[in-house]
Amino acid sequence: MNFKPLLWLVTAGCCLTVSANYTDTTFSATFFTDVQQRYGEDAVTRFTSWRDLIVEGSTEADWDRIHLANQFFNRQVAYSADLEHWKKTDYWATPVETLGTGAGDCEDYALAKYFTLRAMGVSDEKLRLMYVRALSVNEPHMVLVYFEEPDAMPYVLDNMDPEIKLAQYRTDLRPIYSFNASGLWLAKANGLGRRVKDSSGISNWTAVLEKIEQGY
């Protein structure tokens, strides 16, 4: 089943201005029929709420957008490890897969928030997907970070801690590297860190973008 009409929402390379009419066209009756057939009636409700969230967020300030997206996915998506949910040791789901199944792990929360904020109109330069080590459980973890200004301390959007906080107050996280559609950075505690010229090693990120291109 193909969800290619949703591609505009999750294309990482463009800054989008969302109109209600265009959103209504994208989330068409056919789209919702496909969702119902593949994922069931509960998923239709989640996608309807997602559509409304994007329309609402498109007219809000960025600060309000990050709170809307963070709250929405933390509430709508149940945590489930990849091995249990996808029968794979490491799987990055598209927002459609995450919202369709209603479950995902830390990468899936972060990716869904990232693409939703891009659809609302938040510029790519303000967003980074960041790999960290969660010191409380001594495990790798992914969060989304938001920069109000290029050199500012970022805010952390996380499924483990639902409150959006400045990175300096997340002493339970040790940054490793961050990336978005523009590139890869080796992270440091303050600021963006050092950009890496060759970011081809982010194979899971590439795979997610390819799945989106294919309409999933």
Name the pTM for this structure: 0.82
Quick: pLDDT tens for 4-58: 444 444 443 343 444 455 466 678 888 899 999 999 999 999 999 999 999 999 9
Query: Can you list the domains of the chain with their CATH numbers?
Result: 4-213 (3.10.620.30)
C-alpha span between 46 and 85 (Å, rounded) = 18
Q: Of 39-43, 109-113, 136-140, 208-212, which range is least confident?
A: 208-212
Q: Of 41-45, 49-53, 133-137, 188-192, which range is least confident?
A: 188-192
> Which of the four pLDDT bands, split at 50, 70 and 90, describes residue 177?
confident
Q: Which residue has the tokens 């990336």?
A: 179
Q: Which amino acid is at 63?
A: W
Quick: pLDDT tens for 48-102: 999 999 999 999 999 999 999 999 999 999 999 999 999 999 898 988 899 999 9
* Cα separations in angstroms, 193 against 43, 128, 154, 189: 39, 12, 12, 8
Please tell me the predicted confidence (pLDDT) of residue 59: 94
Burial class (CB in 10 A: 0-12, 13-18, 19+), 159: buried
Please tell me the predicted confidence (pLDDT) of residue 171: 95
Burial class (CB in 10 A: 0-12, 13-18, 19+), 138: exposed
